[in-house]
Amino acid sequence: MISQVVAGAALALGLLNGCSASTSPAAPAVALAPAPRVTGDRQIVHVLNRLTYGPRPGDLERVRTMGVSAWIDRQLRPQTIDDSATERALAELTTLRMPIAEALREFPRPDPKLQAQVASGEMSRQEMLERYPLEKRPARIATELQAAKAVRAVTSERQLEEIMVDLWFNHFNVFAGKGDVRWYVSAYEREAIRPYAMGRFPDLVRATAHHPAMLFYLDNWLSARPDFIVPAGPNRGRRAGLNENYARELMELHTLGVDGGYTQRDVTEVARAFTGWTIDRPQTDGRFVFRPGMHDTGEKIVLGRRIPAGGGRDDGERVIEILTRHPATARFIATKLARRFVADTPPPALVTKVADTYTSTDGDIPAMLRTIFESPEFYSADAYGAKIKKPFEFVASAVRALGGTTDAQGGMALARASAEIGEPLYQAQPPTGYADRGEVWVNAGALLARMNFALGLASGRYPHVSVEIPALVAGAEPSAPAAVLNRLLTAIVADQAGPETRAVLAAQLGEPQITRMSPDDRGPANTDVAKLAALVIGSPEFQRR
């Protein structure tokens, strides 16, 4: 009885402060009695915060009308949602649809002779730019992909799918700055991630394992049996051999997890199994090919399972089968999903449930998501507002909260903003991708960058990104600052604003730069809604979802 009272009090505190109970000192008490369930509009806000890049004006009402579970169902079946407006906005980004071979033709690598001439001073930088203009350089491909990501996050109706594309890209990360990945990265997301983001997990492993972007990024394209002599090309005649990079990350980061029970011996065996999985003419075609000559034909033992000699290309397929059916993989993937949708340290009971769904459905992603979205842990008051937005999530959610829209050009500006806050898109160099834990993203420089973005966005300083701030407070009398503030807070952070934040913003209303007095000084004439909106976007509450 007493414990319940304590828990209730702790919770009430947590809610008031708009922070998760897990960071509150009374957190252990919560474990004694289950936290209450988030209900009503609060539940809708929670669902929108987790399944989308943040609510837009009107979303709450739309979900209320449709019903939460019907809305979630629809998001779980993205193919049923019309998204043609987004597709139209992306039309001008031509590299998004370009096959790799065409990208390699359209964006030739810099001519070494040209570079030498610039280095020696024979050619001026200006001349170089004319001969090799920026828009013909391969960096264009990643830039357009970044822009597309921002446009989709802001405008796509298939929000959950976009969230999952982001999650899986980071899970199977490739770095757009590494070598030939420059030309492959867009195709990678289009061919290996997006089609399976709401499909089956083993298909993601298979698709990424075969994709030239992954083969290049984690070096498997060069891995060969130990005594292999390169028959042709610039390295002709030289002895190649095993490269462990992909094999290790496949187990550590893609499937089993670092504590998944594999050994160095397993790494070497998996690397042997994938020998010969390579890229056909990487600089003109960039296609997967299996080269039997590079393959180590001997027997392999992976996690105690025997892969008989002579399996050829199927060795790699066998390894993927062994790994994706392993209970450690079920648990690792379940943890990742629960971390994204529930809390940085997900409740173990939920992880177990999601892992069970993985096992019983062969890694069906919507089924695992449904397990999460139907769980009491997901709707627990502990989970409400418990996640801190990644920089890109923050940027997209700010534009959405202000009723904003963007075109492709604006998408590029938003991608730069995300970089400034610490998350340059497609630029995570290590194979872990970007972290999904708040502690990684909260630091002094990044917080200031978030505030500066809020100021820039609300005052319309991002070209091609338009926000509709007056509409947020439509109906509120401009000369009644308190009413304007109330309307604004409800629109941007729903009921998440703590009393302190309300008090601070109310005090701001007294600043002459915010509330302009009428000429006769009899009372407020106008409120600088844009500046108030910037403060709300930069507030602690809006950094959470």
Residues that bind another protein (CB under 8 A): 17-19, 23-24, 219, 222-224, 226, 228, 238-245, 248, 252, 258, 264, 267, 388, 420, 422-423, 429-430, 432, 438-449, 451-452, 455, 498, 500-501, 503-505, 507-508, 511, 513-514, 531, 534-535, 538-540, 543-544
Give the residue with the Cβ less far from another protein, 198 or 449.
449
Whichever of 405 and 527 has its CB closer to another protein, that residue is: 527
Smallest separation, CB 261 to another protein (Å): 14
What b/e readout covers 235-272, taking b as 16+ CB neighbours within 10 angstroms?
eeeeebebbbbbbbbbbbbbbbbeebebeeebbebbbb
Rg of the chain over all Cα atoms, to the nearest angstrom: 26
| Residue 12: Cβ within 10 Å count | 11
| 3-class DSSP state of 99 | coil
Separation between Cα atoms, residue 442 and residue 390, nearest integer Å: 9
User: Nearest approach, Cβ of 84 to another protein (angstroms)?
Assistant: 36
Q: Look up residue 450 and give its amino acid.
A: R
Q: What are phi and psi of 515, to 5 degrees?
A: -105, 110
Least Å distance between CB 19 and another protein? 5
Q: How far apart are CA 285 and CA 111, in angstroms?
A: 19
Least distance to another protein from the beta carbon of 176, Å? 14
Beta-carbon contacts of residue 264 (< 8 Å; ≥ 6 apart) = none
- CA-CA distance, 171 to 432, in Å (whole number)? 7
Taking the C-alpha atoms of residue 359 and residue 53, their distance in angstroms, rounded to an integer, is 29
310/445 with CB nearer another protein: 445
Shortest distance, position 225 Cβ to another protein, whole Å: 9
> Least distance from C-beta 21 to another protein, angstroms?
11
Of the pair 178, 487, the CB lying nearest another protein is at: 178
The helix (run of H) or strand (run of E) holding residue 405 is: strand 405-406
Q: How far is the CB of 54 from another protein (least distance, A)?
A: 17
Helix (H, G, I), strand (E, B) or coil at 516: strand
Spatial CA neighbour of 170 closest among 437, 432, 439: 432
Phi, psi dihedral angles at 421 (to 5 degrees):
-85, -5
Q: How far is the CB of 264 from another protein (least distance, A)?
A: 7
Please identify, using beta-carbon distances, which residue of 152 and 339 lies nearer to another protein.
339
Q: Compare residues 302 and 449 and give the one whose CB is closer to another protein.
A: 449
Give the 3-state DSSP-derived string for 13-48, with helices as H, strands as E and coil as C.
HHHHCCCCHHHCCCHHHHHHCCCCECCHHHHHHHHH
User: Cβ closer to another protein: 324 or 539?
Assistant: 539
We find the least distance from the C-beta atom of residue 252 to another protein, in angstroms, to be 5
Segments in 156-211 forming alpha helices (H):
159-171, 181-187, 201-210
Q: Decide whether 102 or 219 has the Cβ nearer to another protein.
A: 219
Query: Within 10 A of 274 (CB to CB), how many other CB atoms are there?
Result: 29
The CB-of-58 to another protein minimum distance in angstroms stands at 26
- CA-wise closest residue to 254 among 269, 50, 262: 262
Residue 301 corresponds to which tokens in the numbers above?
A: 């033992």
Q: How far is it, in rounded angstroms, from Cα 221 to Cα 123?
A: 36
User: Which of 198/467 has CB closer to another protein?
Assistant: 467
Nearer to another protein, 155 or 223 (CB): 223
Closest separation between CB of residue 531 and another protein, Å?
A: 7
Closest distance to another protein from the beta carbon of 481 (Å): 14
User: 183 vs 98, 106, 176, 220, 266, CA distance in Å?
Assistant: 10, 10, 8, 17, 32
In whole angstroms, what is the distance from residue 457 CA to residue 530 CA? Answer: 9
Integer Cα distance of 398 and 533 in angstroms: 10
For residues 360 and 432, which CB has a smaller minimum distance to another protein in the complex?
432
Instruction: Find out whether 245 and 218 touch, Cβ atoms under 8 Å.
Output: yes
- Specify the residue, 83 or 166, whose C-beta has the smaller distance to another protein: 166
